[in-house]
Amino acid sequence: MPDDVPAAGEKKHAFATRMSHAARPPIRALGFVNPPVHRGSTVTSPSCEVRRENGKRRFERVMTYGTQGGPTHWQLEDVVAEIEGGTHCTITGTGLSAVTVPLMAWLKAGDRCLMPDSVYGPARNLAENVLPGWGIETQFYDPCIDAEGLEKLWTPNTRVLYLESPGSHTFEVQDVPALNAVAKRHGAISMIDNTWGIHSFQPFAHGCDVSIQALTKYVGGHSDILLGSVTVATQEHHHLVRGMASALGHYASPDDCWLALRGVRTMPVRLKHQTESSLQVAAWLAKRPEVLEVRHPALPGAPGHDLWKRDFDGGCSLFGIVFQPRYTEAEVFRFVDGLKLFGIGASWGGYECLALPTNGMLVRKVTPELPGQAVRLHIGLEEVADIIADLEQGLALLPQ
């Protein structure tokens, strides 16, 4: 390689620049811009001795079998580690498996986990319906709890502090550094589901040990893949995560990794544009008489905005609205059904608008019920004036 080859993705560069170059070969080294897809189960070795030695180096990307992942996975791992500021990343088949793998890696029979009441639903399901059978207890806590409150919930067997900020559907922003300080004091591990904060929240700089991503969302960016990632900041943590993912047989399709690599190159511009559109839509909705509150942490005046401003450097286009208490579920369904540009569906982070009534999906144990019917909105790349016009005709279907 010539000496004057520009380095790929230097730290001093801005996010968009780094995403164009991260984990790529030096730009003057090879002809093709994008990598091939490496598919495979069998990996052959030049000799029995080499194969045996390679088997001992499974954490070093020295392969003996396809389940260890390959070059397509590794390139994506390096990009995600770069985005989140970690040292090692493990790609898993779904965002949900990126939640379950680290929980299983750190929790043993007799341990206890603290989870926010606003946690992603399937994570709650694992904690409530699977972990107890293995002797692991979960205590749910108010996501807006302060350090003192968290301290009161602590017990000697509390091993994991789980965070998700903002929370699923209700969008509470957590005081992550303060809560992590409590976990540190007790020698516990802190894990965060950082899917909403994909580029705007730096988990390791805020004291987290493990960061979970549903790459399905903005990294994929086109609603056509499922992938997750677990990123850590030490080799010891990496071996725990990789070891557990491997023990459980987790694997991700290299084709999906390739699509995620393709998606991530345009993610900065999509995120920026969609976030800006979502803030315009959110500000417009906040002024509507049908709407009681808008839960978009990046919107001035919204719940959690001060913490968001302190800890985040940007946002995304997923937020919630709560209707005035006078509206029934049937009326809010009429509004959502009447939207012409919004698909009705789960997941988010794609290029298109989505709307989802959320009251029926919410399980909350220690936080108050929502004061009205709620809808989660995901704003896509459509022109913002068209989105607002669509919402306006939808709201006109409600009794005034």
Ligand X SMILES: *Cc1c(COP(=O)(O)O)cnc(C)c1O
The site for ligand X (CB under 6 A) is made up of 94-96, 99, 120, 168, 193, 195, 214, 216, 226, 228, 347
- Answer for the pair 85, 158: CB distance below 8 angstroms, yes or no: no
Q: Which is nearer to ligand X, 20 or 125 (CB)?
A: 125
Residues 212/36/70/240 CA torsion (nearest 10 deg): -10
Q: Which is nearer to ligand X, 195 or 202 (CB)?
A: 195
The position carrying tokens 């490496």 is 38
Minimum CB distance to ligand X, residue 226 (Å): 5
Minimum CB distance to ligand X, residue 95 (Å): 2
Q: Which is nearer to ligand X, 226 or 292 (CB)?
A: 226
Q: Cα dihedral sign for 299, 16, 210, 37? A: positive
Q: 3-class DSSP state for residue 281?
A: helix
Q: Using H for helix, E for strand and C for coil, what is the string for 155-195?
A: CCCEEEEEEECCCCCCCCCCCHHHHHHHHHHCCCEEEEECC
Pairing of strands 318-323, 374-378: antiparallel
Question: Two tokens at 61?
Answer: 């990307």
Minimum CB distance to ligand X, residue 64 (Å): 28
Q: What does the alpha-carbon distance between residue 213 and residue 349 come to, in Å, rounded to a whole number?
A: 12
Q: Which is nearer to ligand X, 27 or 344 (CB)?
A: 344
Q: Which is nearer to ligand X, 86 or 394 (CB)?
A: 86
Minimum CB distance to ligand X, residue 5 (Å): 36
Q: Which is nearer to ligand X, 63 or 214 (CB)?
A: 214
The position carrying tokens 């994991």 is 160
Minimum CB distance to ligand X, residue 100 (Å): 10
Please state the length of the chain.
400
Q: What does the alpha-carbon distance between residue 342 and residue 353 come to, in Å, rounded to a whole number?
A: 5
Pairing of strands 158-164, 112-116: parallel
Task: Name the residue whose CB lies closest to ligand X.
Answer: 95
Q: Which is nearer to ligand X, 111 or 164 (CB)?
A: 164
Pairing of strands 343-344, 354-357: parallel
Minimum CB distance to ligand X, residue 280 (Å): 23
Minimum CB distance to ligand X, residue 65 (Å): 25
Across the beta sheet with 228-232, the strand order is: 88-92, 228-232, 210-214, 189-193, 158-164, 112-116, 137-141
